[in-house]
C-alpha cells in the first residue's frame, strides 16, 4: 500500500456492516456524516472536505464494497447491495440518522439508501449523478473504468495516468488518488479497486434510478458540475421535473468531479443545505 500522506488526523479501521467488512476513515465529533465516493475511487478523496467539516460532525468516509481496503465479494454490485451496506454501517455506528454525501456512484447509493431506509437517513447531498443519464455518457464512463485496470511502473506513472484521465483535477487531488488507490505487486502498482467489481458496478449504474427519486422523502440536495460530461443539463432538467421540490446547485466551472475540483463551493453548498 502506498502511504497516505494527505490524511493527517484521520483514523482508519474496518467495520462489519451486515455481513461485509468496510474500511472507513473517520475524524471529528458530533452528528454522523457519511461520505461515499465514485466508481474506482476510495474514501481518501473526501479528506479535504472532511478536514473542514469535522469541527461540526463525526465525518466518516467509506471505501465502498469492491473498492479501497474494503471486502471485494465476487458479486453484489447493484444498488440494493450498496444501499444495504450503507444501512448496515449506520446501524453499526448506532449514532442515529446520518447525513449522506455521495459523489457519482456514491450519490446513486446514498439516494437509494435514503429511499429504502428513511429512518436511518437525515438528509442526502447527491453530487453529479441523477436519473436520465444518456447511454452515450455511460458508455464513455465504462470505457474509462475498464482502461484503468492495468499495472503501472511506479507512482509517477500512476499520477501521469490520473492527470490525463481527470484533466481538471488539481495536482493535490491527483496525488491523493494516486497515493491512496493503488498497491504494490511484483510488476509495479495496481488499483485497489477490484476489476471484477468495477465491471459489475459500471453495468449496474445503467439501472433505472427514477423510482428511488420518486420514493425518497428525506431532504436531498442535487449538485451538478456545470461542465459535467456525465450528467447533462437535460438530465438535470428531467430530474427536476420528476422532483421539483428538491433543491439544485450547479457549480459552473466544475466537471463531474465537483467535490475535488471545487471543494470550497461544495463545502458551502453542503453547509448551507444542512443549516437550512
> Which residues does the annotation mark as catalytic?
104, 128, 256
Determine contact, residues 53/270, Cβ cutoff 8 Å: yes
In angstroms, the CA 99 to CA 125 distance is: 8
Grid coordinates given for 98: 446520518
In angstroms, the CA 187 to CA 58 distance is: 39
Name the CA radius of gyration of the chain, rounded.
17
In angstroms, the CA 69 to CA 18 distance is: 17
Count Cβ atoms below 10 Å from residue 152 Cβ, excluding itself: 20
Amino acid at each position: 500500500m502506498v502511504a497516505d500522506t494527505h490524511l493527517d488526523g484521520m483514523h482508519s479501521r474496518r467495520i462489519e456492516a451486515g455481513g461485509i467488512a468496510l474500511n472507513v476513515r473517520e475524524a471529528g465529533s458530533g452528528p454522523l456524516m457519511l461520505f461515499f465516493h465514485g466508481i474506482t475511487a476510495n474514501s481518501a478523496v473526501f479528506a479535504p472536505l472532511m478536514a473542514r467539516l469535522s469541527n461540526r460532525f463525526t465525518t466518516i468516509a467509506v471505501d465502498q464494497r469492491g473498492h479501497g481496503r474494503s471486502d471485494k465479494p465476487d458479486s453484489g454490485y447493484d444498488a440494493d447491495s450498496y444501499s444495504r451496506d450503507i444501512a448496515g454501517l449506520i446501524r453499526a455506528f448506532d449514532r442515529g440518522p446520518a447525513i449522506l454525501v455521495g459523489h457519482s456512484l456514491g450519490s446513486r447509493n446514498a439516494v437509494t439508501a435514503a429511499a429504502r431506509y428513511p429512518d436511518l437517513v437525515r438528509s442526502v447531498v447527491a453530487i453529479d449523478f441523477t436519473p436520465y443519464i444518456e447511454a452515450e455518457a455511460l458508455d464513455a464512463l465504462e470505457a474509462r473504468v475498464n482502461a484503468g485496470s492495468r499495472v503501472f511502473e511506479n507512482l509517477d506513472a500512476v499520477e501521469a495516468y490520473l492527470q490525463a484521465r481527470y484533466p481538471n483535477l488539481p495536482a493535490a487531488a491527483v496525488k491523493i488518488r494516486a497515493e491512496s488507490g493503488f498497491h504494490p505487486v511484483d510488476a509495479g502498482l495496481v488499483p485497489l479497486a477490484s476489476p471484477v467489481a468495477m465491471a459489475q458496478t459500471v453495468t449496474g449504474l445503467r439501472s433505472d434510478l427514477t423510482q428511488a427519486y420518486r420514493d425518497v422523502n428525506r431532504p436531498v440536495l442535487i449538485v451538478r458540475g456545470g461542465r459535467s460530461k456525465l450528467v447533462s443539463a437535460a438530465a438535470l432538467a428531467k430530474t427536476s421535473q420528476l422532483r421539483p421540490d428538491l433543491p439544485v446547485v450547479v457549480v459552473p466551472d466544475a466537471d463531474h468531479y465537483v467535490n475535488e475540483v471545487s471543494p470550497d463551493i461544495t463545502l458551502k453548498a453542503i453547509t448551507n443545505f444542512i443549516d437550512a
